[in-house]
Amino acid sequence: MASFTIPCFALLLLLLISVSPLPTAASHRFDSGLDRGKKVGGWTEIPNAESNKEIRDLGRYSVNKYNHDLRGVAESPLAFSGVVSAGRQVVSGIKYWIRVATVDTLTGDPRFFDAVVVVRPWLRNSVRDLVSFSPSAA
């Protein structure tokens, strides 16, 4: 009887193992508690961007960088007026998309621009790079 019990036990164990769900590399998801259901690498809206000091500083930086490095000779300088909205994306640093409100310093007309700034906070002086600065479509 002992010889019959061992094969039955082994068969039962094998059956239980084959039926139980095992995590696979494709189905495993690391839950850090920080993603809150958002896609890794996706854009996240920044709430209250208009009053967020860091975002306002980045908006001001983008306008200053535009005035000093990108503005054509025939174009009027811009004055930073505020931030309309912003988003963030984690890449090799943090990429910020900022809709900036400006004022044309010669005409006084309001103008809106979309700026993309990458910040690398781990580098000395928190390096910032203006990636793009273009008139807003909306």
pLDDT at 128: 87
pLDDT digits (tens, 9 = 90+) for 67-117: 999 888 889 999 999 999 999 988 878 899 999 999 999 999 999 999 999
| 89 phi/psi in degrees, rounded to 5 | -140, 130
Residue 98 · residue 82 · CB < 8 Å: no
pLDDT digits (tens, 9 = 90+) for 5-31: 556 555 554 544 454 444 433 333 333
pLDDT at 102: 96
Element spanning 59, H or E: helix 53-65
Domains of the chain in sequence order = 44-135 (3.10.450.10)
Q: For the residues 44-73, what does the mean pLDDT come to?
A: 93
Query: Which of 10, 26, 6 lies closest to 18, judged by CA?
Result: 10
Return the residue matching tokens 């004055």: 79
